Amino acid sequence: MRKLGMLIWALLLAGPVHAQASWVVESDPSTGRHAARACTEGGDASVCLELSCSTEQPLSWGMRTEGIADLVAAASVDALMVVGSSLVGTLEFESVGMEAFRAPLEETHVDGLERLKAGMRADMRMWFGPEEAPELYRFGLSGSRKAISEVEALCPLPDFAAREVERRTQVDPGSVVLGELAEACRTLDGTIAVMEGFLSEVDLDGKGGMDLVVDHSLAECSTATSLVCSDAGCQNSFWLAQEDGRYRRVFLDTIQSYRSAEPGVVEITFQGVACGRGGGSCTRRYTVGPDALTEITAE
């Protein structure tokens, strides 16, 4: 699980600063690859950062490194980039080859591209582990406006809406949720035990098939009272069965309880701020749609 808070904390730490170079554009019409790139210069380690696309892939981030021992065989690395005091975004790089990485361009990064075009310098900190200070790499933004604008004109943006739907569609939701909770528990030096009721089969949408409800609180961490509960309740997620055998998450929130009121309708009880300024407890009715729950308002 990526920890944005820890990466932002890394901004406050000092680390080695590497020199900078201007942005350039590389295009190959025969392959449809277009890239705007800047590389650090000097020192024993270097990093090249790029925004690129190809005929198979929309605009995304790329990174190539040299002389960074922690990244020679790394499967992934988190980075945080700022221009001045403005956040460009957290980049979640995955290895695509020896010392070569790629990260998806997220919708939240789009405003950050404008900051890269307008700024004087970008600072990228890479965080290799909780016990290590982050490494700072600095990129000059000379030529960035022209280079990035040229590549943006040539490269399509990702379909952010389709990607968001795909990310909450899973073959085995229980294992995905359990994996996330187990990772959070490991950071507390604990182990996870799954209790009865963690995963329930329920016909949520009234179509006759078995959908899934995951009660996240029933994966208990040995070193924490609760990972996902508060006075407002505990985290639950609802997953609708898809024709291809996968499940799509249509609800994720902290609740007191739920029940299937009638086919395709669920009632969910909340506690506290979710019930408005007055707090207290409230129960709301929702229709279960293919992508989300829709609240039924009283006439």
> Do 153 and 277 lie in a common domain?
no
Report which of 211, 257, 250 is spatially closest to residue 234, judged by C-alpha positions.
Answer: 257
> Do 53 and 181 lie in a common domain?
no
> Do 40 and 153 lie in a common domain?
yes
> Do 208 and 259 lie in a common domain?
yes
Rounded CA separation 245/239 (Å): 12
pLDDT band at 70 (very low <50, low <70, confident <90, very high): confident
> Do 111 and 137 lie in a common domain?
yes
Rounded CA separation 86/78 (Å): 18
> Do 141 and 237 lie in a common domain?
no
- At 16 the pLDDT is 43
> Do 137 and 59 lie in a common domain?
yes
Q: Single out the residue in 144, 163, 182 at which a domain terminates.
A: 163
pLDDT band at 13 (very low <50, low <70, confident <90, very high): very low
DSSP code string of 233-268: EEEEEEEEE-TTS-EEEEEEEEESEEEEEETTEEEE
Q: By percentage, how much of the chain surpasses pLDDT 70?
A: 90
State mean pLDDT over 93-105: 95
Please report, in angstroms and rounded to a whole number, the separation of the first and last CA atoms in the chain. Answer: 42
pLDDT band at 266 (very low <50, low <70, confident <90, very high): very high
Pick the range with the lowest mean pLDDT from 12-16, 106-110, 132-136, 218-222: 12-16
Q: What Rg value do the Cα atoms of the chain yield, rounded?
A: 23
Rounded CA separation 98/21 (Å): 23
> Do 147 and 197 lie in a common domain?
no
The answer to whether residue 7 scores a pLDDT higher than 60 is: no
Q: Which tokens is 8 given?
A: 């932002």
The residue segments making up the domain with residue 136 are 4-163
How many distinct structural domains can be found in the chain? 2
pTM, 2 dp: 0.71
pLDDT band at 256 (very low <50, low <70, confident <90, very high): very high
> Do 112 and 179 lie in a common domain?
no
State mean pLDDT over 154-164: 94
- Give the torsion sign (CA, 248, 251, 253, 259): negative
- At 73 the pLDDT is 85
> Do 14 and 83 lie in a common domain?
yes
> Do 228 and 208 lie in a common domain?
yes
Write the CATH number for 142: 2.60.40
> Do 152 and 183 lie in a common domain?
no
- At 279 the pLDDT is 79
State mean pLDDT over 226-230: 93
The model's pLDDT over 270-287, given as tens digits with 9 standing for 90+, comes to 999 999 887 799 999 999
